[in-house]
Amino acid sequence: MTVSDRYRTAWDGFWEQSSGEPGEAFWDADPALTARRDLDHLAPHADHSLPVADLGCGNGTQTRFLATRFTRAVGVDLSAAAVAHARRADPDGAAAYEQLNLADPVQAGALHERLGDTNVYMRAVLHQSDPEDRPAVAAAVARLVGAHGRALVLEPTGEAKEVIAAIAAQPGGPSPKLRRVKEHDLRPGEVAEGEVAALLRAAGLTVLDEGATALAMSETRPDGSPVELPARWFVAGRP
């Protein structure tokens, strides 16, 4: 089994056993807490007349919101089951959805041929990729933005593991949402400090802006507030 096969098997298994409803997955928070806030970082740098590609779109929750802010939105995911959920949740076709392996340069190149230069939204994808695959994912981002697009890349920091460990250690053990992540062999990794910027630069992009943030999850704390994972955001492109 290749690395890509392992990813696809794990993610298809997860999404095939999901309803696809917004908020069911641990990370699938309301766009008001995610994409809407995140775009504040991208907006000063992006040409909104270009399309936007949501990389690792899952069931399309964020893609559908992005379609309200850009002329065209396309969500892509390795999992065919995820793409099927996204299409069912968007019967009016506000966005388009495609199965795509980001680590495959041929597939990334073909998407760029179809879209032209595009803006990219990529939330918490690199840490789910094995370290040896991350340069290929960064290269796909660079290929998609081309000369005129901009990428917003958000990744949890090492401290995020501590937050998740604390949730798992609560009385009663991990929540059902967190248990499903483990049951399907989804492997949240750790992106080292400085790694994201280095990957983007190695792919030929310039980091135009960056900062600290928190990634809201659909999981909530006992007081009803969303779990938030410490993270950093990066806006990259070719100046």
**Chain segment 65-123, per-residue pLDDT in tens:** 999 999 999 999 999 999 999 999 999 999 999 999 999 999 999 999 999 999 999 99
Residue 3 pLDDT exceeds 60: no
Closest CA to 154 of 10, 42, 20, 15: 42
Q: Is 204 exposed, middle or buried (0-12, 13-18, 19+ CB in 10 A)?
A: middle
* Long-range contacts from 164-171, C-beta under 8 angstroms, 24+ separation: 164/188, 164/229, 167/219, 167/227
CA 43 to chain centre: 18
Residue 188's pLDDT band (boundaries 50, 70, 90)?
low
**Can you give the pTM of this predicted structure?**
0.94
Provide mean pLDDT across the span 45-50.
97
Question: Is 147 a residue whose pLDDT tops 80?
Answer: yes
Q: What is the mean pLDDT of the segment spanning 50-64? A: 97
Residue 4 confidence class, pLDDT cut points 50, 70, 90: low
**Residue 123 belongs to what H/E stretch?**
strand 119-123
Give the pLDDT confidence score for residue 199 in this predicted structure: 97
Contact 208, 150 (CB under 8 A): yes
The residues, any chain, with a CB within 8 Å of residue 234's CB and separated by 6 or more, are 151, 152, 153, 154, 196, 197, 200, 207, 209, 210
CA torsion, ordered 10, 11, 13, 14, to nearest 10 deg: 120
CA-based max dimension of the chain: 51
Average pLDDT, the chain: 91
Q: Token pair for residue 222?
A: 């006992």
Q: In what order do the strands lie in the sheet with 52-55?
A: 96-99, 73-77, 52-55, 119-123, 150-156, 226-237, 206-220
| Amino acid 162: pLDDT | 84
Q: Identify residue 177 by its one-letter amino acid code.
A: K
**Alpha helix ranges (H) inside the chain:** 3-16, 35-42, 61-66, 80-88, 105-115, 134-145, 159-168, 176-183, 195-202
2 falls in which pLDDT band (50, 70, 90)?
very low
Using DSSP bridges, classify how beta strands 150-156 and 206-220 pair: parallel, antiparallel or unpaired: unpaired
Asked if residues 152 and 234 have their Cβ atoms less than 8 Å apart, the reply is yes
Q: How are beta strands 52-55 and 150-156 bridged, if at all?
A: unpaired
3-state secondary structure of 156: strand
> Does position 238 have pLDDT exceeding 80, yes or no?
yes
Q: Which of 131-135, 147-151, 162-166, 212-216 has the lowest mean pLDDT?
A: 162-166
Question: Region 220-235: what's the mean pLDDT?
Answer: 92
Q: Is pLDDT above 70 for 166?
A: yes
Question: Is pLDDT of 158 > 70?
Answer: yes
Q: Which of 34, 46, 114, 47 is nearest to 74 (CA)?
A: 114
